[in-house]
Amino acid sequence: MVLSLVSLCAKEVVSDHSSSPCWLRWVPRELYRPLLEASFASCRPLAVGELVQRWPERTLRVGRRRKQGQTGPNRLCIQALLLAVVRGLSDKRCALHVLDLCGLQGDEGGMGDPMGGWSLTVALCTMVVQARAGAQRERKRFSALERETDVKRERGQRKRGKEKNGDDEASTDNKELGGNDRERMGSCGTLGEEELIKGVRRRMEIERKREIAMTGLGGSSINETEEKDVNSDVLVHVRADLFVNARSWERVRGALSSMGPLKLQCRYLRVEEISVSSIRTLLGMLPRQSLLGIDVRYSSLGVAGLAELLPLLSTFPALNCLRLHYCNLDFRGDQPGQEEALRDLSQGLTQLQELRRLSLTALRLPGQLRVLLSSLPQPLEILELPYLSLSPADLAYLSCSHHASTLQQLDLSENHLDENTLTSIRRLLSQASSSLQHLSLSGCGITDGLLGLLLPTLGGCRALKSLALALNPLSIAGLVDLVRMAVRMPSLRQLLYPNPLEDYQPGLPDLPTSAQLLDWPLDEVTDINITSSQLNRVLIESGRTDLFLTCDLLNYDKDLVD
């Protein structure tokens, strides 16, 4: 990656933190972004903090998509950024109104010490709560000073009123000033004190109501006027992808329910191992307009639990992505209430008007794909169905459904394919030939014979960018045929192929499963580079230099071609 002259100069400027007082006062607003990027790239958290605290623009986006080989900000820089946002709330030089951190999170413990989704969520929630607490302290201090000033003002007015009344009565009849008059004067003084106390109490009551609105204790009793007043106190809107599990649930709930200078908004929500009631509560606290997708993992929803959540999901008008992974949606027709729950599930899916991406992993719903997908009002663009135990009837429906011609990404990994499903798969690929960009058929039990029957249809997918066929029992001859087909696909950029059967140690079954191929050791005598050399020779002979061949399943990333 070649750096521009501005980037090189910015990297040099932020390298010496001791010089920052000199250049911070004179730097133009156009250079804040290059300086911030250089600070992230050079891991300069102090420079990050000083730049963000003075950020001159209304919007700051940090979580943008990174290029291949480019690492994101490390943990220290992100923490410095969040602290600077809080400090910037009281800095008149800061014009920040929207902080966009969507897509910022990395893998926990990854290269460069990135901040993972869970850690970033906890840090964001802590920032929101701290900002609210600071605003409350500042408000209380200001209110105390204001009350003290009002008390002094009213005491001065009362004192001047006493002196004026005393002068008028003295000029009228100085001789008649006796005990009764002194009693009247005392009663007037008492009346003034009562009015003063009432005024102070009235202001204290107003402040108390305002505090109730700010801390969220008012609940539904807060009227619309008060809600508008509370929203007007928001100085910075923070947009992020949130990762919520049992350990972070309470902190996230506290941040979403708080009302203060920072307002947390969620673009993509990922929840793990929390109950249906907690998910329902969480959805009830999220702003309706900002949520684009929800990813539920390792939660025992059941068919009834998902049917209960779908009406809530329909209240988010921009929701276009629903992902369910290992959520215990085990449908058994012999159990009472299952048919009714499945009908409720189908009815709930009809309300997701903008859904374009659906991912269902290991939900054990064989034969029910028609019930699920036919309910969706709009055709899907991304469909992921790994480990779903799809039946021939499911694949037959999918190949004829209204989703087939619009699919851009299809994942059928770990669903067994054979001659009985060949017709449906070929029809499905033909229907999606002009739109399909990413296809995964890993672990589907594809043999050399079945691959030979599929190759003509695969070659007709003219928009295909990535193809994954890992953990399939193919020989070297089958792989060579696969690569020869791949080099004739001009749009294809990545091909994930399986290790050939010849590379495994003896004893492997004739038709091994994907689990056996994954666990069975490779033969140390056989040089695996021989297979790679044979396939690359086909690549070189074709003149293709833009097609990447790999058998590395763990590091394969289809998104790198986009």
Rounded alpha-carbon distances, angstroms, from residue 389 to 369, 394, 441, 489: 11, 9, 13, 30
Q: Does residue 31 belong to any structural domain of this protein?
A: yes
Instruction: Check pLDDT > 50 for residue 388.
Output: yes
pLDDT tens string 461-471: 999 999 999 99
The conformational region for residue 141 under phi > 0 = left, psi -120 to 50 = alpha, else beta, is alpha
Q: Does residue 240 belong to any structural domain of this protein?
A: no
Q: What's residue 336's pLDDT?
A: 63
pLDDT category at 237 given cuts 50, 70, 90 is very high
Mean pLDDT across 524-533: 78
Q: What's residue 387's pLDDT?
A: 92
Q: Tell which of 61, 89, 108 closes a domain.
A: 108
Beta bridge partners of residue 548, listed in sequence order: 494
Helix H, strand E, coil C: the string for 99-130 is: EECCCCCECCCCCCCECEHHHHHHHHHHHHHH
Q: Across all residues in the chain, what is the average pLDDT?
A: 82
Select the highest-mean-pLDDT range: 102-116, 195-209, 376-390. Answer: 376-390
**Of 560 and 309, more confident:** 309
**Please, which contacts does 324-327 make with residues 24 or more away whose CB atoms are closer than 8 Å?**
324/296, 324/359, 324/360, 324/361, 324/363, 325/295, 325/296, 325/297, 325/298, 325/359, 325/361, 325/362, 326/297, 326/298, 326/361, 326/362, 327/296, 327/297, 327/298, 327/299, 327/300, 327/301, 327/302, 327/363
CATH number at 479 reads 3.80.10
Q: Does residue 554 belong to any structural domain of this protein?
A: yes
Q: Tell which of 108, 142, 170 closes a domain.
A: 108
Q: Tell which of 108, 130, 154 closes a domain.
A: 108
Q: What's residue 114's pLDDT?
A: 59
Report the domain count for the chain: 2
Q: What's residue 554's pLDDT?
A: 87
Instruction: Check pLDDT > 80 for residue 329.
Output: no
Q: Does residue 347 belong to any structural domain of this protein?
A: no
Flag the least confident range among 200-204, 301-305, 382-386, 531-535. Answer: 200-204
Q: How far apart are CA 332 and CA 308, in angstroms?
A: 18
Q: How far apart are CA 233 and CA 243, in angstroms?
A: 27
The conformational region for residue 235 under phi > 0 = left, psi -120 to 50 = alpha, else beta, is alpha
pLDDT category at 162 given cuts 50, 70, 90 is low
Q: Does residue 160 belong to any structural domain of this protein?
A: no
- Domain limits at 486? 430-561
pLDDT category at 181 given cuts 50, 70, 90 is very low
* Displacement of CA 535 from its chain's centroid (Å): 39
Element holding 32 (H helix, E strand): helix 32-41
Q: Does residue 219 belong to any structural domain of this protein?
A: no
Flag the least confident range among 19-33, 74-88, 507-521. Answer: 19-33
Q: Which residue has the tokens 């999170």?
A: 105
Q: Does residue 38 belong to any structural domain of this protein?
A: yes
Q: Does residue 350 belong to any structural domain of this protein?
A: no
